[in-house]
């Protein structure tokens, strides 16, 4: 189990501007990870990492998350083949969120629905009604074929 | 208090591909909001929204979050002047994260440290050591001057 320094032991200044990586995990031991495509910056997905997922991502060079639904480490693409090659990892000012810059391999689809990005629907308000409209993001693989068990 | 449909009442297919906006709030009533700059897609910050923050963002056209530290709605820039004009709001496949596309006004700094983005430090691994290195993101305002009370 990876150990990182305790963020509560750092001053605000050290936490925000220093060289010490001390992720501020939540009560479940997780930080938010936002994954973007290298080059375009397009946001592909939002997931979570625990300490081991962070270390494994840095060590292996492949984005690895913590699957909350399955309760285990999740090397992205291990089932679908849609691996994510790590280009750069960044932390935010107060170290409770990570930016994961990747090259998306396989069909180029980060989303389990087969789309490049998970963000394929727009939230629109008309009067007091709020609804979603599809942006027409293409399906790059058929999830039924890829995830059959 | 804004009411959205109960996501647990939707089928997986309706949740993931339908027109019904039913945000999957966590136990604290929050979803993750990733804010990016319109045009460049650069990730500026990660924050949280509750139901009222979502509605207020759509209604007012200015990104409004839920401040966990202050326990209240937080119109981004209300203190610093760094307002965020909403260009587009998107949801992800399982509706527990939002993408907030904005024009960053003021000095162009989304981060409270005065930088454009909160993600100004790279996480680097050398052997088993992990440390942060500053990417040299410029400070566009002096937080001491802007946030003096």
Instruction: Tell me the CATH number at A94.
Output: 3.10.20.810
B97 to chain A, closest Cα gap in Å: 7
Which residues of chain B are within 8 Å of residue A24 when distances are taken between CB atoms?
none
User: Best residue in B35, B92, B128 to probe A by mutation, most A CBs within 10 Å?
Assistant: B92
Whose CA is closest to B113, among B83, B85, B147?
Answer: B147
pLDDT reported for residue A45: 98
Range of the domain at A55: 7-108
pLDDT reported for residue B2: 76
Whether the pLDDT of residue B8 is over 80: the answer is yes
Antiparallel, parallel or unpaired: β A43-49 and B84-91: unpaired
> Are the beta carbons of A131 and B21 separated by less than 8 Å?
yes
Query: Is residue B52 situated within a structural domain?
Result: yes
Instruction: Name the closest residue on chain A to residue B13, using Cα atoms.
Output: A113
Q: What is the pLDDT of residues A6-22, one digit of tens each?
A: 999 999 999 999 999 99
DSSP annotation string for A108-147: S--STTSBS-S--EEEEEETTEEEEEE--PPB-S-HHHHS
Query: Is residue B120 situated within a structural domain?
Result: no
Average pLDDT on B23-35 reads 97
Distance between CA A73 and CA A65 in Å, rounded? 6
Whose CA is closest to B54, among B14, B5, B117?
Answer: B5
Distance between CA B93 and CA B23 in Å, rounded? 10
Query: Is residue B145 situated within a structural domain?
Result: no
Query: Is residue B48 situated within a structural domain?
Result: yes
pLDDT band at A1 (very low <50, low <70, confident <90, very high): low
Across the A/B interface, how many CB contacts are shorter than 8 Å?
125
pLDDT reported for residue B147: 81
Which residues of chain A are within 8 Å of residue B136 when distances are taken between CB atoms?
none
Query: Is residue A129 situated within a structural domain?
Result: no
Number of domains in chain B: 1
- Percent of chain B predicted with pLDDT > 70: 99
Report H helices in chain A: 12-17, 51-60, 143-146
**Which ipTM score applies to this complex?**
0.96
Phi, psi values for residue B8, rounded to 5°: -70, -15
Query: SS3 for B115?
Result: strand
pLDDT reported for residue A147: 81
Element (DSSP H or E) covering residue B144: helix B143-146
Average pLDDT on B39-56 reads 98
Query: SS3 for A49?
Result: strand
Whether the pLDDT of residue B149 is over 60: the answer is no
Closest CB to A59: pick one of B93, B123, B125.
B125
Distance between CA A137 and CA A2 in Å, rounded? 38
Check: CB of residue A76 under 8 Å from CB of residue A65.
yes
Whose CA is closest to B92, among B46, B40, B31?
Answer: B31
Average pLDDT on A104-117 reads 97
Query: Is residue A140 situated within a structural domain?
Result: no
Instruction: Name the closest residue on chain B to residue A112, using Cα atoms.
Output: B93
pLDDT reported for residue A70: 93
């Amino acid at each position: 189990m990876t150990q990182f320094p305790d963020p509560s032991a750092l001053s605000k200044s050290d936490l925000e501007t220093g060289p010490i990586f001390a992720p501020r995990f939540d009560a479940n031991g997780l930080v938010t990870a936002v994954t973007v495509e290298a080059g375009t910056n397009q946001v592909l997905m939002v997931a979570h990492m625990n300490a081991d997922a962070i270390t494994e991502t840095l060590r292996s060079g492949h984005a690895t998350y913590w699957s909350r639904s399955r309760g285990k480490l999740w090397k992205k693409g291990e089932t679908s083949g849609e691996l994510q090659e790590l280009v750069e990892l960044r932390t935010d000012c107060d170290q409770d969120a990570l930016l994961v810059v990747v090259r998306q391999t396989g069909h180029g689809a980060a989303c389990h629905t087969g789309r490049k990005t998970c963000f394929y629907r727009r939230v629109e308000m008309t009067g007091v009604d709020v609804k979603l409209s599809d942006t027409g993001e293409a399906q790059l693989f058929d999830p039924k074929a890829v995830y059959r068990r």
